[in-house]
Structure 1
C-alpha cells in the first residue's frame, strides 16, 4: 500500500470517529484489534495508543456518546475560524468535491478529512500537489492544531482523549511528509 493510500484510510477512520460516536457494532469490531493503526515513538502516538487501548475496555458506550455530544461543537472549523464554511465551499466546488452533508457540515473535520482522503488517493501531479498544499496549509492543519489540544484537554473519556493525541500525531506526520508550512491564522 502506498503512503497516500494508507493516510487516506487513516483519514476515513478519523472522519468516522469525528462524525458520530461509534455504534455498538462498530465499537465491538474495533475491540477485536485494540491497537491503533499507526505505530511510532512520538509522545503523542504513545500516549494516544495507550489511551485508545484502555478506552476499548469500556462496557457501556453511553459515556462515550455523551462525550461526543459535548465535544461536537469543536468538530466544525467555524468554531475557530469565522468564514471557513464559505471558503471551504468554494474550494470544494472548484475541486468538484461534494461533502456528505447528511453526515456533517461543509466545514467539519469530517468533511475536511473526507476531502483529504479523496485527494490522497489521486495520482500526484503539479495540480494535485498545489491543491493539497493550499488545503493543508490554509485549512486542515491550522484547524487540526486548534482541535487536538482541545480534545486532549476537554474530552471526558479515554476514547476521545486518545483521538486528540492520535490526531496530533497524524497531523504532525502529514505536515512533515508533505513539508507544509502552516499559514498562521
Structure 2
C-alpha cells in the first residue's frame, strides 16, 4: 500500500524525492504552466494529455502552483505550497501542517498523497516550508477545481498575511 502522508525532515531527503518526481512532465520546479502545445503533444500517455488540458482550463490563480509529475510509477498533478523563512522554529509550519493534514483527511482528498517538510534550503536561503499535494491525473476536472480552491483557501492565507500561530489563524 502506498503512503498517503510523507513527512520529509531534510532538504537532501526532499531533493532525493524530487529525483523520483520525474522532471520531464513539468516546466519548472515551481510549476509555471504555459499553454505549450509542444508539451501537450509530447505526452504519450493519454491520462497526462488529459491532465495537462485540465490544468490549462484551471484558474490562473492556481496553475502557477501546479505541474505534472511521476512518482513511484504513477502520474499526478502536483499542487505546491512553498514559503521561505529564515527561522526554522517558525510556528507557521505547525499551523500549515495542521491545515494540510486536515485537508488530506477529508473525503475530497481521499486519493491525494501529501508530501511536506520544514527544510533547510542552504546557508543563504534559510528554511522553507514545502507542502506538495499529489493529485491523481485521472481526477474529474470539476473535482480538481474544488481541490485547488480548498488548498489555496487553507494554505495561502498564511503566506499572504504572515500568520504565525493558531490564535492569528482564528482571526483571518
TM-score normalised to the size of structure 1? 0.32
**Which structure shows the higher helix fraction?**
1
- Tell which has more relative contact order, 1 or 2 (C-alpha 8 A, sep 6+): 1
TM-score normalised to the size of structure 2? 0.34
